[in-house]
Structure 1
Amino acid sequence: MTVSAKDQLALMARYHGWATKRLLASIEPMPDEAYRRPCGLFFQSVHGTLNHLLLTDSEIWYPRFAGARAESFPLDAEIESDRARLSSRLVAATAKWREHVDRLSDAALADDLRFTMTTGQARTLPMPAALLHVFNHATHHRGQITAAISMMGFECQPLDLPHLIFAEQASSTVL
Structure 2
Amino acid sequence: MTKQYFKELAAFNLWANNIACGWLGQISDEQWNRHVTSSFNSIQETVLHILSAEKAWLQRFRNETVEWLQATYKGSREEHITLWKETSAQLKSFIDDFDEQALNTNLDFKRLNGVPYSMPYYQLFAHVVNHATYHRGQLVTMLRQVGFNEISSTDLLGYYR
TM-score calculated relative to the size of structure 2? 0.92
Residue 141 of structure 2 is matched in structure 1 by 147
Partner SS, residue 114 of structure 1: strand
Greater relative CO, 1 or 2 (CA 8 Å, sep 6+): 2
Deviating more after overlay: 80-89 vs 13-22: 80-89
Equivalent-residue separation in structure 2 for 1:32 and 1:8 (angstroms):
37
**Are the counterparts in 1 of residues 27 and 148 from structure 2 also a CA contact under 8 Å?**
yes
The one-letter code sitting in structure 2 at the alignment partner of 1:132 is: A
Q: Does 1:158 align with 2:150?
A: no
Equivalent-residue separation in structure 2 for 1:102 and 1:69 (angstroms):
22
Partner SS, residue 113 of structure 2: coil
Of 15, 36, 58, the residue aligned with 1:62 is 58
Equivalent-residue separation in structure 1 for 2:132 and 2:74 (angstroms):
17
Q: Give the ranges of 4+ consecutive aligned residues of structure 1 lying more than 6 Å apart after TM superposition.
A: none
Equivalent-residue separation in structure 1 for 2:74 and 2:156 (angstroms):
28
**Are the counterparts in 1 of residues 2 and 100 from structure 2 also a CA contact under 8 Å?**
no
- Structure 1 unmatched ranges of 5 or more: 167-175
Q: CA deviation at 1:77?
A: 2.6
Residue 125 of structure 2 is matched in structure 1 by 131
Equivalent-residue separation in structure 2 for 1:110 and 1:27 (angstroms):
36
Equivalent-residue separation in structure 2 for 1:79 and 1:133 (angstroms):
23
- Structure 2 unmatched ranges of 5 or more: none
Of 23, 40, 46, the residue aligned with 1:43 is 40
Deviating more after overlay: 46-55 vs 75-84: 75-84
**Are the counterparts in 2 of residues 17 and 91 from structure 1 also a CA contact under 8 Å?**
yes
Equivalent-residue separation in structure 2 for 1:50 and 1:95 (angstroms):
16
TM-score calculated relative to the size of structure 1? 0.85
Instruction: Provide the aligned length of Structure 1 versus Structure 2.
Output: 160
Q: CA deviation at 1:64?
A: 0.8
Q: Does 1:31 align with 2:28?
A: yes
Of 68, 79, 90, the residue aligned with 2:73 is 79
Q: CA deviation at 1:63?
A: 1.1
Q: CA deviation at 1:43?
A: 1.9
The one-letter code sitting in structure 2 at the alignment partner of 1:141 is: H
The one-letter code sitting in structure 1 at the alignment partner of 2:117 is: R
**Are the counterparts in 1 of residues 32 and 42 from structure 2 also a CA contact under 8 Å?**
yes
How many percent identity over aligned positions? 26
